[in-house]
A = this chain, B = another copy of it.
């Protein structure tokens, strides 16, 4: 199943984690340890929330020595920050369907599937909640979204080149407009957005962009 972050799905370690058992190469063990520790951290966040994250517990779940975890990450906020870095690293690339409406629909579907996935939805809620009371987590979360927005922004730039949206349309604002109603639903109602909501979010952003709402000043 495609997902905004490959690492956050238990059955799919995602590309670049180096978690494939049997892989022996320089850095292989380090990468395996990181993958196991971040997976365990994500499990705790999704199941119990940030307040219950504890380095010793994560080490036990990951079957990694406590000393290794303490030496490498040092704090739960550093661990969550690294989890967000890995989630950005292993996120799926953007789709290029040839039209803005198609591209934004693909983006919305990806975000919706991520948030509707029980583990990933809970993980994002936990990380957003943690960011409300911890500046380091907030900074890591901002970087995660910057990476994702930068990945998808070319869809809007290409649409501008094709004349689908006016020149000067701010690509990042359009991409964030697609995600906004989906996250808003999850965070304010606790219920994951469904597929029709994703289609609506994409169509709304597309209509507003075409109408020139996201054109930035000179």
A131 at the interface (CB under 8 A from B): yes
Interface footprint category on A: 35 or more
Instruction: Tell me the smallest distance from the CB of A147 to a CB of chain B, in Å.
Output: 13
Scan A76-118; emit 1 where CB is below 8 A from any B CB, else 0.
0000000000000000000000000000000000000000000
Q: Is the CB of B142 within 8 A of A189?
A: yes
Chain B residues near A183: list those with CB within 8 A. 180, 184, 187-188
Instruction: Tell me the smallest distance from the CB of A179 to a CB of chain B, in Å.
Output: 7
Chain B residues near A173: list those with CB within 8 A. 200
CA distance A130 to B126 in the complex (A): 10
Contact A181 to B190, CB < 8 A, known contacts A49-B133, A51-B133, A204-B204: no
Q: Is the CB of B203 within 8 A of A208?
A: yes
A141 at the interface (CB under 8 A from B): yes
A213: contacting residue among B126, B133, B207, CB under 8 A: B207
Interface centre among A187, A190, A207 (most CB of B within 10 A): A187
Scan A128-142; emit 1 where CB is below 8 A from any B CB, else 0.
111111010010011
Oligomer copy total:
2
A208: contacting residue among B184, B190, B208, CB under 8 A: B208
CA distance A133 to B50 in the complex (A): 9
CA distance A189 to B131 in the complex (A): 9
A66 at the interface (CB under 8 A from B): no
A156 at the interface (CB under 8 A from B): no
CA distance A8 to B142 in the complex (A): 27
Q: Is the CB of A214 within 8 A of B187?
A: no
A128: contacting residue among B135, B179, B187, B208, CB under 8 A: B187
A145 at the interface (CB under 8 A from B): yes
A128-B188, A138-B189 known, 20 other contacts, Cβ within 8 Å: A49-B133, A128-B132, A132-B187, A132-B190, A135-B190, A138-B190, A142-B189, A176-B184, A177-B204, A179-B184, A180-B180, A180-B184, A183-B184, A187-B187, A203-B211, A203-B213, A204-B208, A204-B213, A205-B208, A211-B211
